[in-house]
């Protein structure tokens, strides 16, 4: 499992991109902050598609995603096996300019995550941001780049500005100072604010949540500005965050696999694509356009119950029972000549230990169940 956070997302993104482009199919799983926003939003066996969609839409618009698992499976035709690269991604909505997303939490859902040792600090402090197409367009349409820097008030940064100002009075050109940023600070916003306020400096960041401030000449500053992307573009690109991965998945047109995944699909649509349509039909049409090949392993397991009974196998359709079944001796016999699945070295422990309800692990075991079907 490769853990993906805001602090390492840009570094790992090329690996995710390469994995998706070379994949045979992609399995996903989501953890989120709630299931039922209010009374009356629970599923009912008598709901038709439109009624079920209306309830789930309200839930998805009021909760947010906390963790996303991507298990990217690639068929190795030479060795007749599948390799799996697994990414466990914490995500968190960011505030910028007028963008300030609100979401609810349901106590029972958070308690459930606690039982499986979910790291809420990583979710809030270091979750990868995301934007819909509409949100991104609004930010790019801002005429004044300063609006993007209004996320955190000047009072918060004042001690940093003061220390840089004092240091500059005695620093020589090419001297550097290190700023150890608060864990909750957006490093890129801090860099942009510093470079906007002080015209005789340039900045870079480190993996240790540090900002390196260097005193530069007027000529060097002009060269650096001309050869670096504008702060506005850099900030918006960073805020798009995980939405870039979702767009890669959509553009790839590769099969997407999930388990009982309707709410997962609605949440991804609402957070990474655009606001959910009012019509169930419009949602289905647009979803089919962006992700044309979707496989739900719960639906497939339900349809295979008669076959499973014929092998004297359990007929439970939850993801953990299905995985245990497929790993059993009987399950291996039922899946005729199943191919070998090899985990990427970073994810080896998923083959040795069980991590149920960690999004990356659940995505992996969901894809594990689909491999015989794609073989």
Statement to judge: residues 160 and 120 lie in one domain: no
* Segments of the chain scoring below 50 in pLDDT: none
Say if 135 falls within a structural domain: no
pLDDT (tens digit, 9 = 90+) per residue, 101-114? 899 999 999 999 99
106 within 8 A of 36, measured Cβ to Cβ: yes
- Count up the domains in the chain and report the number: 2
Statement to judge: residues 262 and 125 lie in one domain: yes
The whole-angstrom separation of Cα 242 and Cα 131 is: 8
Say if 136 falls within a structural domain: no
Statement to judge: residues 119 and 6 lie in one domain: yes
The whole-angstrom separation of Cα 139 and Cα 136 is: 5
Say if 64 falls within a structural domain: yes
Ramachandran angles phi, psi of 309, nearest 5°: -65, -35
pLDDT reported for residue 311? 62
> On the CB side of 134, how many CA atoms lie within 13 Å of its CA?
8
333 within 8 A of 349, measured Cβ to Cβ: no
Residues near 65 by beta carbon (within 8 Å), at least 6 away in sequence: 30, 31, 32, 33, 91, 267, 268, 271
Statement to judge: residues 160 and 249 lie in one domain: no
Statement to judge: residues 50 and 182 lie in one domain: no
Say if 203 falls within a structural domain: yes
Statement to judge: residues 83 and 117 lie in one domain: yes
Question: How many CB atoms are closer than 10 A to CB 87?
Answer: 25
Say if 360 falls within a structural domain: yes
Statement to judge: residues 210 and 300 lie in one domain: no
Q: Which of 205, 234, 263 is the last residue of a domain?
A: 234
pLDDT reported for residue 313? 64
Paired sense of beta strands 65-76 and 25-32, if any: antiparallel
String of b and e for 16-40 (b: at least 16 CB within 10 Å)? Answer: beebbeebbbbbbbbbbbbbbbeee
Say if 140 falls within a structural domain: no
Instruction: Give residue 43's domain range.
Output: 2-130+241-374
Element (H, E) at 253: none
Statement to judge: residues 265 and 363 lie in one domain: yes
pLDDT (tens digit, 9 = 90+) per residue, 264-323? 999 999 999 999 999 999 999 999 999 999 999 998 888 877 776 666 666 677 888 888
230 within 8 A of 142, measured Cβ to Cβ: no
pLDDT reported for residue 244? 98
Q: Which of 234, 256, 271 is the last residue of a domain?
A: 234
Statement to judge: residues 115 and 247 lie in one domain: yes
Alpha helices in 46-205 (DSSP H): 49-62, 107-115, 120-126, 133-140, 154-170, 187-197
Tokens of 290: 């962006």
Tokens of 373: 């079907």
Say if 179 falls within a structural domain: yes
Question: 3-state DSSP: the chain helix, strand, coil percent, rounded to 5?
Answer: 50, 15, 35
Say if 165 falls within a structural domain: yes
Tokens of 4: 């993906």
Statement to judge: residues 118 and 159 lie in one domain: no
Statement to judge: residues 228 and 163 lie in one domain: yes
What is the CATH classification number for the domain harbouring 292? 3.30.420.10
pLDDT reported for residue 373? 58
């Amino acid at each position: 499992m490769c853990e993906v956070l805001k602090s390492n997302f840009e570094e790992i993104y090329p690996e995710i991109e390469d994995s998706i482009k070379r994949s045979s199919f992609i399995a996903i799983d989501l953890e989120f902050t709630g299931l039922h926003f209010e009374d009356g939003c629970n599923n009912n066996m008598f709901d038709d598609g439109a009624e079920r969609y209306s309830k789930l839409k309200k839930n998805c618009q009021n909760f947010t995603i906390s963790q996303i698992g991507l298990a990217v499976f690639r068929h190795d035709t030479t060795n007749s096996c599948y390799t799996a690269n697994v990414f466990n991604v914490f995500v968190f909505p960011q505030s910028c300019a007028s963008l300030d997303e609100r979401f609810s939490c349901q106590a029972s859902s958070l308690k459930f995550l606690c039982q499986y040792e979910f790291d809420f600090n990583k979710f809030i402090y270091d979750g990868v941001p995301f934007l819909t197409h509409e949100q991104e367009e609004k930010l790019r349409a801002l005429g004044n780049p300063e609006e993007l820097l209004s996320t955190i008030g000047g009072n918060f940064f004042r001690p940093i500005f003061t220390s840089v100002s004092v240091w500059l009075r005695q620093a020589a050109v090419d001297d550097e100072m290190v700023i150890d940023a608060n864990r909750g600070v957006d490093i890129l916003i801090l860099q942009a604010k510093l470079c906007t306020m002080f015209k005789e400096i340039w900045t870079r960041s480190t993996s240790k949540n540090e900002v390196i401030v260097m005193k530069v000449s007027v000529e060097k500053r002009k060269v650096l500005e001309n050869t670096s992307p504008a702060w506005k573009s850099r900030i918006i690109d960073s805020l798009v965050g995980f939405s870039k991965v979702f767009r890669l998945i959509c553009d790839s047109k590769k099969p997407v696999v999930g388990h009982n995944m309707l709410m997962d699909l609605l949440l991804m649509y609402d957070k990474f694509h655009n606001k959910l349509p009012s019509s169930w039909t419009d949602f289905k049409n647009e979803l089919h356009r962006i992700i044309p090949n979707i496989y739900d392993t719960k639906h497939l397991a339900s349809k295979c119950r008669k076959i499973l009974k014929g092998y004297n196998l359990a007929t439970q359709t939850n993801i953990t029972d299905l995985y245990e079944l497929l790993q059993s001796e009987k399950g291996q016999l039922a899946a005729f000549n199943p191919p070998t699945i090899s985990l990427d070295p970073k994810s080896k422990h998923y083959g040795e230990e069980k991590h149920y309800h960690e999004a990356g692990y659940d995505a992996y075991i969901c894809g594990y169940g689909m491999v015989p079907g794609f073989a």
